[in-house]
Structure 1
Amino acid sequence: MAKTAIDYAAVFQALPGMVALLTPELVYADVNEAYARGSGRSRDQLVGRYLFDVFPDNPNDPHATGTRNLEASLFRVLSTGERDTMALQRYDVESADRPGEWEKRYWSPVNTPVLGAEGKVVLIVHRVEEVTELIRARGRPGGGADRLLEAELYSRARELQELNHRLQLAHAREREVALALQEAMLPARRQVGGQRAAVRYRPAVGSLNVCGDWYDLVDLVGGNRIAVSVGDVVGHGLEAAGVMGQLRSALTAASRVAEGPAQALNVVGRYAHVVNGAESATAVTTFVDFDRRTITYSSAGHPPPVLVHADGRVEFLDRATDPPLDAYPDPRPRPEAATGYAPGAILALYTDGLVERRGEDIDTGLARLAEALRRHRTQDPETLADTVLRELLPPGGATDDTALIIVRL
């Protein structure tokens, strides 16, 4: 059977429900016929205009919250990249023909993001279920039932909004405490082993919960050596921050006495089995010997460090990769590998928020990181760290936490 091309523009216009396409700036990019008809606006009155210029708040009713709730929902979609389904809302819609006259409408919106190649929201599908006539019909013929139903709906909506507001405040407070705890436990940028190092931590944008990303830099005993590590705890909030602190401290202590990075991860892996919340936690650690100009490394389920040589050659340290810290019920040796470098090289460790994007193979993100480090390898570590974050993170911020360490060798 011959393949028939689908006219998606015609399909969009024929959709039975009210559907509009909004840009990230909340400007109408397109509307279908049902949306224009249901909103009481022509297509020309909608396309190219800011949503809340067309449908502003009713200045005569300070308790009308439909517009404000819709705005909050749309911003959640933009910040999280996730669909947001709203409860039934009452909107006061100004008459297009009689300015100053407002009509009560009842709409149930669903806002769905359309993501671009880099995981950024490029459009929002704003679908509206119109239930105004249904509510009016239930109140006929006398109108008393209509007023009672409207009052009940309004009361329930206000209760839900108040509950949601309280939950958001509670989550926001927890996020603040978790961030403060996490920042207190993570080492500040400093000189390590006589070398220059830059560290960065960026919490996820739009998330009410901080995650468990961490990093560490440790001066090792014996010789001109340091340990550089990053890790990631599955989970959110205070629990994840607490687990992160336990695992980071354990790895710091183990690194100071271990013969190498594999042995250090073995010790932390055993410890992870008795720490609630450490399930599937990952980590990678590197031991840098500045006298011998070698890097010995081992990874427990974490993305590989990147070594950019002075001549621009990029090497992923991926020859000693093993499952996450708690993967083995019984202790067993983890793999370990080593590589050399010349003065002027750059070592970068990071967490997956820097390279992973929704709908994209992680190899694409790794290649993007390698290219950014190679092109800007002559920058000092502080400048290079800022450059990498600027080039790799979405303009509005990532939906996952990101940790990054850059060391000039």
Structure 2
Amino acid sequence: MSEFPIDYAAVFQALPGAVLLLTPELMIADANEALLRRAGRQRRQVVGHHLFDVFPDNPRDPDATGTRNLRASLERVLATGLTDTMALQRYDVELPGRPGVFEERYWSPVNAPVLDADGRVRLIVHRTEEVTETLRAGAPRDHGGDPQRMTAELYARAQELQQLNDRLRQAHARERLVGLALQEAMLPAPRPVGHHRAAVRYRPAVGALNVCGDWYDLAELSGDRMAVAVGDVVGHGLEAACVMGQLRSALSAATLVTPGPARALEVLGIYARSVEGAESATAVEAFIDWSSHTIAYSSAGHPPPALLHPDGRVEFLDGATDPPLGARPEHVDRPEALVSFADDAVLVLYTDGLIERRREDIDVGLARLAASLTRHRGAGAETLADALLAELLPPDGATDDTALVVIRL
């Protein structure tokens, strides 16, 4: 059966809610009929103009916060690529044909991103429902018919809601700062492991609530060997950061007393079952042996490490992949694979923030990583780490944390 044809332009115009389409520069790309009707504007007065030129604050109201609050919400959408639901807003509207005369209005806005294939915000859908009449209908009736008293009460209600919203955002911002400090304190500082040195990077996600559970770990083993691991805890905020610290410490301890990465991840998986919030966490670990020029590795649901060979060829180490930590109710031996490397090869471990983008197959991100590694195959570990972050992370910031370890072998 053929797909039923849909005229999306007609659907947009028929939407009962008031909707604007905004560019990242906050220019109005389109407006539907509901918005034009409620704003009392014609299309030529809106489309192609800057949002705050068409809808400015009342210049005679020193307490007006409509444009400031809306701009902050739109900037959050641009920075995070996530939908932002605003608290009830008082945003007065200039009456058509009466310049400088503003009417008190109340709105409930939502701002949602439209993303391109690379996860960048190309448009913002600004949907807003007017609730002025609803508020007035719900206002107490003891104002004696005095419109000034009713207006003051409505304004006070809106201000209380806005202050509550501001306090919530401040609390979230404090949580992010504490989470970042906790996360950085638990991640090891760059240091030589034996006579080898790894370049490590950690980049937090943009946005007030995106502290995540990405981590890395390095350990010196007996002989000319090193263990390196990265992992990712599902979730955000302080809880994810705390779980991350527990898992990283547990794997670090298991690595020192087990014969290989598979056994270390088995121990970690058993431990993860007893840690609330560790469900479906992922991790990958590699044991590098310079005396035999081999890498033993095992993955618990994590993106595959990349091995850059001296000739520029990139090999993804996906031969020993198993479900995430704690995913199985009963113990099953995890797989382990062995690969050889030549002098001057490069091993790269990373979390999914480096390669994954919304609405994009992971293979596209892996191909992007491989191309970047090949381009910079002659660079030192520190230079290569910086180049990968510069080329692979979105220029306006990623919406997921990224941990990265680069080792020239």
Aligned AA for 1:362? I
Secondary structure (helix, strand or coil) at the match of 2:277 reads coil
1:136-180 CA-partner distances (Å, limit 9, x unpaired) = 78999x992654553343222222211121122222112111211
Mean Cα displacement is larger for which, 98-107 or 263-272? 98-107
Aligned to 2:248: 248
Please show how residues 313-352 of structure 1 align to structure 2 within 5 Å.
313-352=313-352
Do the aligned residues in 2 keep the contact of 1:136 with 1:146 (CA within 8 Å)?
A: no
Please show how residues 41-120 of structure 1 align to structure 2 within 5 Å.
41-95=41-95, 97-120=97-120
Do the aligned residues in 2 keep the contact of 1:80 with 1:207 (CA within 8 Å)?
A: no
Distance 1:281 1:4 in 2: 41
Distance 1:322 1:3 in 2: 39
- Sort the Cα spacing of 1:192 and 1:53 in 2 relative to 1 into closer, same or farther, 3 A: farther
1:40-88 CA-partner distances (Å, limit 9, x unpaired) = 3443333333212332222322322222222222223223333333344
Measured after TM superposition, the shift of residue 310 of structure 1 is 0.8
1:251-308 CA-partner distances (Å, limit 9, x unpaired) = 1122122211111112222222222322222110000111211110011111111111
Distance 1:128 1:347 in 2: 50
Measured after TM superposition, the shift of residue 27 of structure 1 is 1.3
Please show how residues 212-361 of structure 1 align to structure 2 within 5 Å.
212-221=213-222, 223-361=223-361
Secondary structure (helix, strand or coil) at the match of 2:256 reads helix
Do the aligned residues in 1 keep the contact of 2:262 with 2:298 (CA within 8 Å)?
A: yes
Secondary structure (helix, strand or coil) at the match of 1:303 reads coil
TM-score (ref. length: structure 2):
0.91
Secondary structure (helix, strand or coil) at the match of 1:267 reads helix
Runs of 5+ unmatched residues, structure 2? none
Aligned AA for 1:254? A
Distance 1:310 1:351 in 2: 24
Do the aligned residues in 2 keep the contact of 1:261 with 1:287 (CA within 8 Å)?
A: yes
Measured after TM superposition, the shift of residue 25 of structure 1 is 1.7
Please show how residues 135-154 of structure 1 align to structure 2 within 5 Å.
144=145, 146-154=147-155
Distance 1:87 1:243 in 2: 32
Measured after TM superposition, the shift of residue 374 of structure 1 is 1.8
Distance 1:405 1:135 in 2: 55
Mean Cα displacement is larger for which, 201-210 or 20-29? 201-210
1:332-373 CA-partner distances (Å, limit 9, x unpaired) = 321100101111211111111112222222222122212211
Root-mean-square deviation (CA, aligned residues, Å) is 2.6
Secondary structure (helix, strand or coil) at the match of 2:122 reads strand
Aligned AA for 2:233? V
Please show how residues 167-178 of structure 1 align to structure 2 within 5 Å.
167-178=168-179
Q: Does residue 129 of the first structure (1) align with residue 129 of the second (2)? A: yes
- Sort the Cα spacing of 1:110 and 1:228 in 2 relative to 1 into closer, same or farther, 3 A: same
Mean Cα displacement is larger for which, 287-296 or 355-364? 355-364
Mean Cα displacement is larger for which, 241-250 or 96-105? 96-105
How many residues were matched structurally?
A: 407
Distance 2:239 2:206 in 1: 19
Please show how residues 173-188 of structure 1 align to structure 2 within 5 Å.
173-188=174-189
Distance 2:229 2:169 in 1: 34
Aligned AA for 1:242? C
Do the aligned residues in 2 keep the contact of 1:13 with 1:32 (CA within 8 Å)?
A: yes
Aligned AA for 2:211? V
Aligned AA for 1:385? A
- Sort the Cα spacing of 1:209 and 1:137 in 2 relative to 1 into closer, same or farther, 3 A: closer
Mean Cα displacement is larger for which, 30-39 or 399-408? 30-39
Secondary structure (helix, strand or coil) at the match of 2:276 reads coil
Do the aligned residues in 1 keep the contact of 2:254 with 2:268 (CA within 8 Å)?
A: yes
Distance 2:16 2:170 in 1: 38
Distance 1:360 1:43 in 2: 35
Identity over aligned pairs, percent: 70
Please show how residues 5-24 of structure 1 align to structure 2 within 5 Å.
6-24=6-24
Do the aligned residues in 1 keep the contact of 2:89 with 2:162 (CA within 8 Å)?
A: no
Aligned AA for 1:306? A
Distance 1:332 1:196 in 2: 34
Mean Cα displacement is larger for which, 121-130 or 101-110? 101-110
TM-score (ref. length: structure 1):
0.91
